[in-house]
Amino acid sequence: MTTATTTFPGLTAGTWVLDPVHSNVGFTVRHLMVSKVRGSFEDFSGAITIAEDGTASVRADIQVASITTKNADRDAHIRSADFFDAEQFPVASFVSTGIRPDGDDYIVDGEFTLRGVTKPVELRLEFNGVNAGMGNGPVAGFDATTVLNRKDFGITIDMPLEGGGAVVGDKITIHLEIEAGLQA
């Protein structure tokens, strides 16, 4: 795994563990060609490891069966073999391969695995800073986004509309709002 020296002010060496109570792994996808469906995952974990020399790496796992779009029928369909095939591929994962500055923000290069298919992705990362926390040690905040093509990961179901287009778009925008605490 390739890492890069970070310049995250206040982010000290150690393992920063994602706090699922104060974090969100969400997405949007085009629906009926005119609007968007929003969803999120309720079960995820991850860590950011900062070495003494300032190099950083990221690892995250998402339990895909934990998807919620506020529609039980749609969620069940997304868990099925038509989409995530959650029974056969229960975990989606991200492993960083590098972190580089991008103006005031960063790009986290990595490999994302979904449905047993691994592809390179770029996360556009905003570092929100570090705070002393509320008695359990320091916390850091991050926002990140990326756009994936579902077909790149074997989600090739097409549900064409009578007038053209499709029920579900190909591009999925992932939105990450992360709070992580320094592990003692």
Q: How many alpha carbons fall within 13 Å on the CB side of residue 126? A: 8
When pLDDT is cut at 50, 70 and 90, the band that residue 89 belongs to is very high
Q: Residues 6 or more apart from 45 whose CB is under 8 A from it?
A: 17, 18, 20, 60, 61
Kindly report the pTM of this predicted structure. Answer: 0.90
The pLDDT, as a whole number, for residue 64 is 97
What are the pLDDT digits (tens) for 26-63? Answer: 998 877 666 788 999 999 999 999 988 888 999 999 99
Q: Is the sign of the CA dihedral 114, 116, 117, 122 positive or negative?
A: positive
Confidence of residue 86 (pLDDT cuts 50, 70, 90): very high
| pLDDT of amino acid 184 | 74
Question: What does the pLDDT look like over 109-145, one tens digit per residue?
Answer: 999 999 999 999 999 999 999 988 787 889 999 999 9
Instruction: Please tell me the CATH superfamily of domain 4-182, with its number.
Output: Lipid/polyisoprenoid-binding, YceI-like (2.40.128.110)
For the chain, give every domain's residue range: 4-182
Mean pLDDT over the full length of the chain: 89
Find where tokens 């994302």 sit: 112
Q: Do residues 27 and 173 lie in contact, with contact meaning Cβ atoms separated by under 8 Å?
A: yes
pLDDT digit string, tens, across residues 163-180: 766 667 789 999 999 999
Round to whole Å and give the CA distance between 60 and 72. 26
Q: Among 116, 128, 119, 115, which residue's Cα sits nearest to residue 95?
A: 119
